[in-house]
Structure 1
Amino acid sequence: MPAKTTKTALVTGASSGIGEATALKLRELGYTVYGAARRTERLQKLADVGVRPLAMDVTDDASVRAGVEKILSETGRIDALVNNAGYGSYGALEDVPLAEARHQFEVNVFGALRLTQLVLPHMRAQRAGTVVNITSMGGKLHTPLGGWYHGTKFALEALSDCLRLEVKPFGIDVVVIEPGGIATEWGGIAADRLEASSNSGPYAKQATAVAASLRSEANTKRNSPPTVIADAVAKAVTAHRPRTRYATGFGARPLIALRKVLPDRAFDTVISRAVGLPR
């Protein structure tokens, strides 16, 4: 009887939070896991348990190509791609410099899709594979001063839907994971960028309120651990017929459901009050 082939997974943004938890989970499941990040010194915890650290900047085409080639040269296959690298750049739409807005799209959207482009030929040859795109409940709803960030997540949701149709004939699944509030560095980073962009001028009062909400200890305590997202990824890559979407983590399901049923202006009011916007 032939030996069972070990499946290979690539997880981006693996240096902390959701990416780190996902890399650990897939390693527990027996995958050969490559954890990718720009700062490989932050991957030591993963390396200690057998995850292979991989230097990769998803905005650098040469870096992405080299990473995929390294994986294929060492294992000969890629069975799961988890596009997790991303960040939240908040600030009033008017205030955020276009260079920063473009960078947000480069990381959150184009980086994920470029990696997908490079991996798909090998998945097609295998007639199997799963592409997992980590979006957000923010890909289904909106918050004030988060326009550029939400734009990236809405875009990744739409691209995932189109891709799912395109690759279905080749035995490849495309799955979207929509995290709610997760206990990671994300909120603090988003708040810092918000204040850098809009802490003065006409949007200053809104920026103060939203930054306080992002850093709120009450919200932080309610946030779910990154392992809930790792568990959802594990379900997606091991299921014979995975769901197209997994909404999980604090607030994700109820807020997405609320957005579906409320008229736009009613939802605007709910979200504005939730983040403490001045009236």
Structure 2
Amino acid sequence: MSTSDSKVVLVTGCAKGGIGYEYCKAFAEQKCIVFATDILHRMNDIDLSPSKYIDTLELDVSSDESVALAVKTIISKYGRIDVLVNNAGIGSTGPLAELPLETIRRAWEINTLGQLRLVQQVVPYMASQRRGSIVNIGSVVGKVPTPWAGSYCASKAAVHAMSNTLRVELKPFGIDVVLVMPGAVRSNFGSANVERLGGQDWKLYKEFKEAIAERARASQGRKATDGGVFARHVAQKVLRPRPPKVISFGHMTGLFAVLSWSPLWVRDIFFSTRFKLHKKL
């Protein structure tokens, strides 16, 4: 296979059932050379072998050493990374007044610093060739935070801030930065969120246990956008000669766009009612 005309794409967080898995297939359909990466114990779930355009590689976004090794491996094989898709992330559901700081710290380490860790390793190579695209996966809740998910929302808000800064800072080197803001997209994200809640024993918020669990699975309703459809939409836009600065797509993006322009009291009423916080105890 000739690689001269093929984009080399690194995607993080690619276990089967997630959106990263769909990104890999979507970029491969565009005849990109794709490296599907994830942590070791999830690598067995990645079954993309039928595609000659996809290879798998171990990568833990929370480890400096793992990130450096993965990037070095790709560079040694192809000499470049044209597109970085910072997809790896975990949920973090629960009331901020009670959610353990270690749980919050873990989410921010993966969702926020994990993205920056990849950026810092990949940018020198992109800068040397004066081109490249960095795709950071944010969320509509990074712009409009919701109750019971303040930790996750904050981690994505930081991704938005970093992306908006990087877009300007990396422009002199010919590097594009694309912020993706998914709405509700069908994946295993909701079930993983609910599973993490299993060991939590709320004190102040014990009467809200079901409402908290509902928030954990909120993005996975029957109207959620198909993961494959979402990934193909993103891949096609990212591979344009001039990719957009922001891609907002998926179920509920319209609602969150309206909420982002609404007065805070409107947002508060909406979310208080939606997540059972409208009554005093």
TM-score, structure 1 normalization: 0.92
Aligned residue among 167, 179, 186 for 2:170: 167
Aligned residue among 182, 185, 204 for 1:179: 182
Separation (CA, whole Å) in 1 of partners of 2:248 and 2:188:
20
Q: Percent identity?
A: 36
**Is 1:64 the equivalent of 2:61?**
no
Paired residues, number: 274
Unaligned runs of 5+ in 1: none
**Is 1:108 the equivalent of 2:118?**
no
Match of 1:48 in 2: 50
SS in 2 for 1:187: helix
Amino acid of the residue matched to residue 261 of structure 2? V
Amino acid of the residue matched to residue 207 of structure 1? K
Amino acid of the residue matched to residue 209 of structure 2? A
SS in 2 for 1:9: strand
**Is 1:209 the equivalent of 2:219?**
no
Amino acid of the residue matched to residue 186 of structure 2? A
TM-score, structure 2 normalization: 0.91
Match of 1:157 in 2: 160
Which string of whole-angstrom CA distances, capped at 9 and with x for unpartnered residues, describes residues 196-251 of structure 1? 33x431112233213135446x9621111112331232133211222111111110
Amino acid of the residue matched to residue 264 of structure 1? L
User: Equivalent residues in 2 for 1:124-273 (5 A)?
Assistant: 124-194=127-197, 196-197=199-200, 199-215=201-217, 220-255=221-256, 257-273=257-273
SS in 1 for 2:135: strand
Match of 1:34 in 2: 35
Task: Say if 1:3 and 1:9 are closer, same or farther in 2 by CA, change over 3 A.
Answer: closer
**Is 1:14 the equivalent of 2:6?**
no
Separation (CA, whole Å) in 1 of partners of 2:3 and 2:106:
45
Task: Say if 1:82 and 1:115 are closer, same or farther in 2 by CA, change over 3 A.
Answer: same
Task: Say if 1:90 and 1:40 are closer, same or farther in 2 by CA, change over 3 A.
Answer: same
Amino acid of the residue matched to residue 89 of structure 2? G
SS in 2 for 1:53: strand
CA RMSD of aligned residues (A): 1.9
